[in-house]
Chains A and B, each alone.
Chain A
Amino acid sequence: MLSLFIGIPLLAAIINLLMGMLKKRFTEYFAIAIPLINTVLSIQVLFHTLSSGVIVNRVGGWEDVLGIPIAIFLIADGLSALLLLIINLIVLPATIFSLKYIKDNNLKNKYYSLLLLILAGVSGVVLSGDIFNLYIFLELTLISAYTLVAYDLSKEGLEASFKYQVFGRLGSAFILLGIIFLYFSTGTLNFIDLSRLNIPTHISNMATILFMVGFGIEAGLFSLHMWLPDAYQNAPAPINAISSGILIKIAGIYPIFRIIYNIIGITPEVSNLFLIIGNVSMMVAVLLAINQWDFKRLLAYHTISQMGYVLAAFGLNTSLGLFAGLLHLINHSLFKSLLFLNAGSIEYATGTRNLKKLGNLRQRMPWTYFTNLVGSLSISGIPPLNGFWSKLLIIIASIYSGNYLTAIITTLVSILTLASFTKVLKYAFWGEASSDINLNEIKEVPTSMILPMLFLSLLCALSSLILLNGVSIYFNEIIQNTLLLGRKWSEFILLR
């Protein structure tokens, strides 16, 4: 069952590449069908995990020999199932958005194949039940992402992709070194085994540092983020939506939390580290963001800043903090991919991303304006939308746990975020256009680009419903049964 999530996109990527050479139109509709199938499957998996706890699959059906697991494990607990659904909910609109956005017919089949490989990779990372497979799926995802950043082979694209590759490989080297430390101290790679075995303190400290640096590079945490704005500035907009919406979270943030909480075990020192990195990330990145005039680059710095929120909330190490952090992680994937799609449609319609050149688009592009308004209000935390609730919960959680500084910084950064998105709205949609652009020639983007944006803005509004009494119980249960269990997580899995 679970191997379908990896198998279907992998197989589809190959079929897509070959069939695309023969028949050009085939590749587009085929590429949409795959995330659609996976969405349906992931809803099923989510309901299954909510009712019965955990799904554990041994790929190939290899049973344990003398109590030693030899099969490849795929584990779907609540957290994995939830993230799997979010992955597919972001990839689906991004693929539909690409239909008109990608104009070059000769590159279409390669583009969609790489997109499907990313889908296979991130699903693999989320479901993988041992640490080395996680590394392999991570590499699969990253190699596809490196290529897609320089998809048009422009000068900027090549430079950005080169930077991304050097940083990405440094990161994966650190991760591999961390895996070596864990493997030779315990003799196993399996998550369940690792969290049952006793890891010596000096090994676990070393592994924690190596994983923090390695996955931190992939997640673009502050001070390891140098590749991120460049890569995001040049990638096609749907790829931005995918990489900001899910790739940095699944390839960076999720493994950090899974490994440090469930496998190595969280210590007060590590959660303080999360808190410090989180606070510095959100403060510095938002200050850098305000200065930007390139719409995508501005959004890229906001990605770093919002990831700081998530890390700081997890650093509080209370159940409310974890709840708020995970909620913000999900909300961020929804509104940030929406905003990147907006940037893409502005570029599609006007040919530029420079905010100084744009202006008064509100009349010419009403749908883009409306969805951008939803996204901007959501990221800056205006009440009815999802961003407000998760930020409020982070502030409440930090006050409860006595971290008043975090509460102050969170509020301050929220105001600065609002300021920077007011700038976007003023320069792009209100105000006067510069003489470089002829407003009368600008048309609203085609329907296949409007629909994904509307879908994501609907999700932005709907995901605040997670806090309703009946739904938040399930959401809370997911956190209680995964991250909060700490190293007892293996007992929980084995019981089911």
Chain B
Amino acid sequence: MLIYFLSILLLLIGIYGITTKRNIIKTIIGLTLMEYAIFTIFIVKGYKKDAFPPITGAEIADYVYVDPLAQAMIITAIVIGFATTLLLLSFTVKIYQKFKSLDINDLKDLKG
């Protein structure tokens, strides 16, 4: 139960970072923290104590196996998260080159 509590705390820290921080890098850290919190919830929920890998044909009584799908999905989600973070960071480099600042308050050409 503690680990769920900690993951949700991580999620809230992430959302706090996105909403209050004015620095672009800190916003990105907030976003990734939030995503990682969701991944953690996913992995912990899929975990089973004293379970075996899901290989059929094994001759064990009361064969308890872990759910492989949760881990497969999280690996996919981590890769997607990696790609989006990379894209966001490369945009940040371009933003710094154009605006000479990483403060969100300086990005205000668009209004209305």
Q: Which residues of A contact B (CB under 8 A)?
A: 132, 136, 139, 143, 146-147, 150, 153, 155-156, 158-162, 165-166, 169-170, 173, 176-177, 180, 183-184, 187, 189, 229-230, 233-234, 291-292, 294, 297
B99 at the interface (CB under 8 A from A): yes
B85 to chain A, nearest CB (A): 9
Nearest CB in chain A to that of B110: its residue: A230
**Cβ contact of A158, chosen from B45, B77, B80, B94, cutoff 8 A:** B94
Nearest CB in chain B to that of A233: its residue: B110
**Cβ contact of B38, chosen from A146, A156, A173, A230, cutoff 8 A:** A173
Interface hits, B95-109 → A, CB 8 Å: 95, 98-99, 107-109
Contact residues of A: prevailing secondary structure: helix
B31 to chain A, nearest CB (A): 5
- Given A158-B91, A189-B69, answer yes or no on A169-B42 (Cβ-Cβ < 8 Å): no
Given contacts A159-B95, A183-B69, A183-B70, 12 further A-B contacts (CB under 8 A): A146-B87, A150-B91, A155-B98, A155-B109, A158-B91, A165-B88, A166-B18, A166-B27, A169-B35, A176-B38, A176-B42, A177-B38
Interface hits, B25-59 → A, CB 8 Å: 27, 31, 34-35, 38, 41-42, 45
Task: From B35, B83, B88, B110, name the one whose CB has the most chain A CB atoms within 10 angstroms.
Answer: B110
22 contacts between A and B (CB under 8 A): A136-B76, A139-B80, A146-B87, A147-B87, A150-B94, A153-B98, A155-B98, A156-B109, A156-B110, A158-B98, A162-B24, A162-B88, A166-B27, A169-B31, A169-B84, A170-B34, A173-B38, A176-B77, A177-B38, A183-B69, A229-B110, A233-B110
- Given A176-B77, A177-B38, answer yes or no on A162-B31 (Cβ-Cβ < 8 Å): no
Residues of A within 8 A of B76 (CB): 132, 136
Q: Is the CB of B91 within 8 A of A161?
A: yes
B9 at the interface (CB under 8 A from A): no
- Given A150-B91, A165-B91, A170-B31, answer yes or no on A143-B84 (Cβ-Cβ < 8 Å): yes
B73 at the interface (CB under 8 A from A): yes
CA distance A257 to B92 in the complex (A): 35
B17 to chain A, nearest CB (A): 11
Residues of B within 8 A of A294 (CB): 112
Q: Is the CB of B31 within 8 A of A166?
A: yes
Nearest CB in chain A to that of B81: its residue: A169
- Given A155-B98, A173-B34, A173-B38, answer yes or no on A160-B110 (Cβ-Cβ < 8 Å): yes
Residues of A within 8 A of B84 (CB): 139, 143, 165, 169
Residues of A within 8 A of B18 (CB): 166, 170
**Cβ contact of B87, chosen from A143, A170, A183, A189, cutoff 8 A:** A143
Q: Is the CB of A180 within 8 A of B38?
A: yes
